[in-house]
Amino acid sequence: MELCFATHNLNKLEEVKKILGSSYNLQGLAEIGCTEELPETTGTIAGNSRQKAEYVFAKYGAACFADDSGLEVEALQGAPGVDSAFYAGPQKSYQDNVALLLHNLTGVTNRSARFITIITFITEARKVWQFEGILKGEITDSPRGVKGFGYDPVFLPAGSARTLAEMELTEKNTISHRAKAMELFLSFLDKEYDSGSNG
């Protein structure tokens, strides 16, 4: 089955390819000729996810899915949230975002946080579904590990002694917020879409 993942983020693309396996022919935006930045202007994670999927479907006619993710920190009233990628500015620098997060948590004892991913899937029939994945944990005092991307070096999943950046990708893909959303998405594809039950 051929699917388009509506992202320019090569780290996300690699993660999802590992999760999907060989049963799906996954294309990125570059492979369908989309080079422009996708709109993310709704102010919510679910809204941005849908907005990106609808944009790609409308312009390129590809059955596609898009994700939007955010890190929500309890002591920061849910920030950076929908602005996670731009937390420290439009340069979208992982290092700058992490540095600002740690600065804003200086002296804060409540480090509880969660990652959330919303995946939106649009088919040729213009039907839309969304799938949510959540990973709870806490923010460390300093970065640990060199794997992963984004806030992975400072995110310690609940029950783990290692940050996401200290895990191999195969291990991260068994627990991550994106993996959980993808699991629901794949279950849907297996049970509904491939069977043709939704046209």
Q: Which residues 6+ apart lie within 8 Å of 143 measured at CB?
A: 98, 153, 154, 163, 165
Catalytic residue among 68, 96, 141, 190: 68
190 is catalytic: no
d(CA 50, CA 42): 9
| CA distance linking residue 177 with residue 191, whole number of Å | 22
* 170: Cβ contacts below 8 Å, ≥ 6 apart: 18
Q: What is the DSSP secondary structure assignment for residue 176, as one 8-state letter?
A: -
Are 46 and 36 a contacting pair, CB within 8 Å? Answer: no
CA max distance for the chain: 55
Residue pair 65/119 in contact (Cβ under 8 Å)? The answer is yes
Cα–Cα distance measured from residue 108 to residue 101, given in angstroms and rounded to the nearest whole number: 11
Q: Which residues are catalytic?
A: 68
